[in-house]
Structure formats: C-alpha cells, structure tokens
Structure 1
Amino acid sequence: MTGLRDAWRRHKQKIKKNFFDKNSTLEDMLAKCPDGIPHNQFRQLIEYWKHPTVQAICEMNSQNRKKQKWRHRMGPINFARVRVALRAAKDNNEEPSKPEIFIATRTKTGKEIQADTQVAIAELQNRQNSGETTDDAFRAVYGKEQLGRVRCYGRSVTTSSLKKDEEINNLKQKHADEITSLKEELREEMRHLFTQLLQNNPGLNFHDIPGCVGSDLASPMMQVVHKL
C-alpha cells in the first residue's frame, strides 16, 4: 500500500510539473490537457492547484524540502532492498549499521558526492575510528530520531516494529542456542556412555551389538559412535 501511494503521488507530481503553470490562464492549460484525463477532471485539478490555500501549502512544502540535508540518491529503490544487498555481501549475514546504509544510499557510482554529504560521511567515519559505536556516531551527526519513524530503514518502519522484529530474532536465536546445547549434552552423555561401556567390557566388539549385524547400513547407534 505504501508503494502504491508513492506511485500515485509521483504520477500527480509529474502531471503538475508538465501541465500546470500558475502564471498561465485556465484556458491555456486546458488546451494542453494530457491524454487519459477528462477535461472536466483536469479543470477541477487546475482550480485546486490554483487555490491560494493550496499554493501556500505547496510553497511551504517546497521550502521545507530545500532545507533537507544529505538527501538519498536511490530514486525509487527502497531502503529495504539496499539493506538486503548489504547484508548478503557480508560473510556472516550481519545486519548493516545505520552509517553503512547512510553511505550506501548517498553515494552513486559515476556521480560526484554532494559537498555536505561528503562532510557528513567523513564525520561518521572519524567518530567510528575514534571508538564511538555506530549508533552513537550516527546520532551525533544526524540528531535524535523523529517520532513515528526510524532513519535509514525506509518508510513504514517504526521503533515499535523494529523492537518486535528484534524480540522475534532473539527468540529464534535462543531456540537455536538451546538446540545446540541439547545436542552437545547428548553428545557428551553418549561419549561418556560408550567410554564406560568400553572400560567395563575391554573385548567388546560394537558389531556384536544387536541391530548392527546382518545389515550393510550402520545402525543409529553406530552412526553416533562414528560421529563421536
């Protein structure tokens, strides 16, 4: 739904950029009505864009947009895809840090990095080299997170959703650790069992154990013995 909303907004922005001029008359703009939009709907759209309140909001949004620093250069590519690519490039599939995402989304092969972005990247790297954690370095450069969003994760990602994902990952890791621990305990118990068995029966031949004789396939017990 977020992607659909963004696509619709880009479509409206393209229509306005190519077919609307606040200094032109209504008749001139209607004469250049784009294909696929009925004249009556395009008239309503022009009247909406020419409304003083709407123009004031557009001007305010335009000024706020110009104040944004270090704008990303990924175009329609969302941050989730960048995060997946960075994670796959690591040997241990480790989650990329915010500074790594910041640098990856602000640089583009073959294009010059903006001056203010170069300064921010240099400060991030210097702070990390001096011993600061990645989160502390990013917070010092970027400032505190705004309510309802998390930087470098893309839209629709919030602090609460990240916390929930972290809890799920912790549970998965705990379960995996428990399985590994149980396997190690079982291995140790079996090792101790066969050690005692050999000590009490020096001449014991494992092939004499029922289930091991008369078959070309090793029994589960013999498989455990070989693994030990």
Structure 2
Amino acid sequence: MRTRAGSRFETEQHDDEVVRPYMEQLMNGQDYSQAETHDGQSNELRITDTEEQQNDESDTSEKKKVRGPTLLKEIWKLPPGKTIAVQFNSRNQAIKKDGRKLASFLGFVARTPELTPLHIHDWRSFDKDEKKKLVEFVRKKFSIPTRGEEFVIKSIGKKWKDYKCDLKSVYLTKFKTKDVLLKNKPNRIPRDQWTGLVSYWVSEKAKRRSQTNRNNRAKQKMPHTGGSKSIATLMDEKAENGVEPTRAQVFILTHRPRKDGRPLDEESSKTIDMINEKLSNSEGSNEQPPCSVAWEGDVYSQVLGNEKTGYVRGLGLGPTPSVLWCSRSFGNNVEEDSSNEIVKRLEQEVTKLKDINGKQNEELSLVKQNQEKLLSELAWVRKAMSRNAPNELSIHQNINEISDDQVPDANSGHERGQQSPHMLFKGQSVAENIPSSHGHTT
C-alpha cells in the first residue's frame, strides 16, 4: 500500500520534472515561454488539471482521482521583465491568490538542488548571502517588498526540509542499507549531494534527532483540517470590515469535522469547547489591542499555554513575539516597516557612525603626529640657539608658550624692545647655524 507521503512525493516529482527545464532557463539568465526537455523536444506545458483528471477517470476505478500537478503555466509564460505583485498582510505574510502562486513557486525553488543543496544538514547553516540570492531569484517572477523577504526565506527553508523528509520517507523505507541507497540515486540530484544526504541519514546524530522529532510529533494530538490554504489567507478571507479573526477563532475554523465524514479528534473537541466558553464570557477581551489577532494573555494562550521563544502559534509561518508584542498598532498600516527592517536601518546608521568616527580618529592621529614633529623641530631650534647664544636666551623658557606676537619683525629686527636673534649670533643668522632639513644650508 502506498503511503500518503510517498504518493505526494511522486506527484511532486512529476511536477518538478515537467517544470525543471523552465527553472534551468531562469537560473541561466534566460526567460522564455517554451523550454526544451532533456530529450530535446519542446515543452509547452500543455497538460492541464482537467486533462489530468480525465486521465484518472479513464484509469481503473481503484486508483484515487487527484487534482493533478500544479505547473504554474501563467508564471512561466510571463513576458521577460514582467512580474506578479504579491500582497502581504500586516504580519508580512503572503496572502490571496497570488500568495498561493508564490508558495508553489517557492516549492520549486526548494526542490532544485542547484539552488538549495541537499547535503547541508540544517537550514540555519545556509550562508546569508546565498539566501539573499534566492530572494533575488524569486524576484525574477514575483514582485516582493522588502518586508516580505524574511517570509520568502522562511518558506523556502520549510519546504526544503519537507522535501528532504519526503526523500527520506520514500528511499530509506525502500532501501535499507547505505550502499543500496547510494546506488539508487534520484536522477535530478547530484551525486555529491546524494552521498552527503545518505551519509547523514545513517549517522548516529541523525538517528537521535529523528527519534526526538518522532517523539515530539507524537505529542501533537490536534491536527488541523484547514487543507492547503495558508492560515494567513484564511484570516484575510474571513476579515470583516478590515478586522481579522483572532487566533482563537482561527483555531475553531481550522479544526472541524473532515469532509469525508471522519469526526474531529477528542482533544480538539475539548479545546474548542474551552475556547467557546471563554469567548462567550468575554474573558480577556478588555485587554485586546485594536485590530490585533494575538496578544499576551489572549484566549488562545489561556487555553493552550504561553508562547515559546521565537514563535507564535496559530498564525501560520512568519510572525514572531518580537513583532507582535512590541507593536500594538501594526495592524493599522500594512506598509509599516517590520522590526527587522528597523533593526537593519539602525545597524546601517551605527556602521556609518563608526566609519565617521574612524576617519576622525585617523585625522586626529595625523594632527598629533604633525604637532609632535613641529614641537621636535622647535625644540631642536631652541637647543641650537641656546648652544650658540647661552647668555642671550633663557634656558627655562617654555617653547609651547611662544605666541605669534613674539616672532621677531624681519624689517625692524626687534621684538618688544628685545634684540633680534639675527644680531645675537654676532653677524651670523640662525639659518646659517641650523642644518637644513633638506640636506643643504640656506
């Protein structure tokens, strides 16, 4: 019997193979509405969802009818330079129909080994510059605002991990040993990446991590029944007069009896009853910030517990406590900069100030060096004058207190009634007694 994960993986593989020529063209800087397959034939994406369903109906009745692969024909056939503008909500999440197209495209990116290598063990190990390149690659087909970049990176990372999970579920179940796994490499995955991925799968570190993940997964007793639609898009569709439902209300919307008649799990039923009871009693409603969907001490957290570090449950991919808790009015303006952008701008300002400070320090150091050089030369002049006219020049005079009005007048040869230094050397000028710094005398 074919597993659900295996079936989904096979569907995605077919999807990827059809679209792969277009991805390769885009990676090579090309952007055409047609692409050549690996056998040299032209691929015009003529397969449609309806045709796929008809093929399923003509097949045996035992085979489950599926929707068919999402090929995103309208995206690949976009004229060069034209992009799809994606809307983002106040929590910097992609929404609406174009948001779903973006999600499918990000899935292609995550399953393209040339863009997102598979032998890297953790998404957090990806270089930041490489992640930025992925965003720029996505911008070849989609118009992404700056505040939406973090969502794109997070979404690719999640889909990349899901893809690796599907690979492991299918191949490690079918091929039990490392040698057999290495011999049965998928065609679209480079040899070095497949070797690194398989080596990690069979390592003790990966086995411990996998067991921990299985244990944590077993603790999740309330699977949602919201389907493939993102929570962000669902909240946008359910908004009334611009006010979205709270995450407690979203929990109820995404935990309902399934369409095939299966009842809701017992844990979800109990949780919904508790949420409805608190909502009917209006507990905590007085503390709700305007237009907020989640806040500290809301009904959701009262029933399901407080948030963990760096993650907010019930709102989908993207939102973090630092974004939600630190801004009470973020929902009023979807174009408002995210906290990450503010931090980036502050870091840039700090960098500029450091550069300015560094230049000022260099200039100050140069001034000090010139000052020391000047004082050294003046001290040498003073020493020479003292050696040649000890009776006429006081040794204890401080050279730093000499001011401009004490400089001898070259025309009169006097300075406030004192005799000119040119007369002190009995007919010899100072210049004749002091060696020139240029190696000759004046």
| TM-score bin (small chain) | 0.5 to 0.7
What is the total number of aligned residue pairs between the two structures? 169
Q: 1:152-191 counterparts in 2 under 5 A?
A: 152-163=314-325, 166-169=328-331
In the superposition, relative to structure 1, how do residues 44 and 170 fare at CA in structure 2: closer, same or farther (>3 Å)? closer
Partner of 1:104: 253
Partner of 2:225: 73
- Contact 1:30 / 1:43 at 8 angstroms: preserved in 2? yes
Structure with higher Rg: it is 2
How far 1:171 moved relative to its partner?
8.4
Partner of 1:20: 172
TM-score when normalising by structure 2: 0.35
How far 1:146 moved relative to its partner?
1.8
Partner of 1:4: 156
- Contact 1:22 / 1:50 at 8 angstroms: preserved in 2? no
TM-score when normalising by structure 1: 0.64
How far 1:46 moved relative to its partner?
1.3
Unmatched runs of 5 consecutive residues or more in structure 1: 173-228
User: Which of 83, 87, 96 in structure 1 is aligned with 2:235?
Assistant: 83
Partner of 1:185: none
How far 1:27 moved relative to its partner?
2.6
Q: For 2:328, what is the secondary structure of its paired residue?
A: helix
- Contact 1:149 / 1:159 at 8 angstroms: preserved in 2? yes
Unmatched runs of 5 consecutive residues or more in structure 2: 1-152, 286-296, 335-442
- Contact 2:258 / 2:264 at 8 angstroms: preserved in 1? no
Q: 1:183-202 counterparts in 2 under 5 A?
A: none
Partner of 1:113: 264
How far 1:136 moved relative to its partner?
4.5
- Contact 2:171 / 2:181 at 8 angstroms: preserved in 1? yes
How far apart, in 2, do the equivalents of 1:163 and 1:136 lie? 12
How far apart, in 2, do the equivalents of 1:161 and 1:27 lie? 47
User: Which of 287, 302, 322 in structure 2 is aligned with 1:140?
Assistant: 302
User: Which of 175, 182, 191 in structure 2 is aligned with 1:30?
Assistant: 182
How far 1:161 moved relative to its partner?
1.5
How far apart, in 1, do the equivalents of 2:228 and 2:316 lie? 11
CA root-mean-square deviation: 2.7
How far 1:44 moved relative to its partner?
2.4
One-letter amino acid matched to 2:265? Q
How far apart, in 2, do the equivalents of 1:83 and 1:144 lie? 21
How far apart, in 2, do the equivalents of 1:128 and 1:169 lie? 22
In the superposition, relative to structure 1, how do residues 121 and 15 fare at CA in structure 2: closer, same or farther (>3 Å)? same
Moved more, 31-40 or 141-150: 31-40
Partner of 1:217: none
How far apart, in 1, do the equivalents of 2:326 and 2:282 lie? 29
Q: For 1:20, what is the secondary structure of its paired residue?
A: helix
- Contact 2:175 / 2:181 at 8 angstroms: preserved in 1? no
Partner of 1:48: 200
Partner of 2:277: 126
Structure number with higher helix proportion: 1
How far apart, in 2, do the equivalents of 1:79 and 1:68 lie? 18
How far apart, in 2, do the equivalents of 1:44 and 1:132 lie? 53
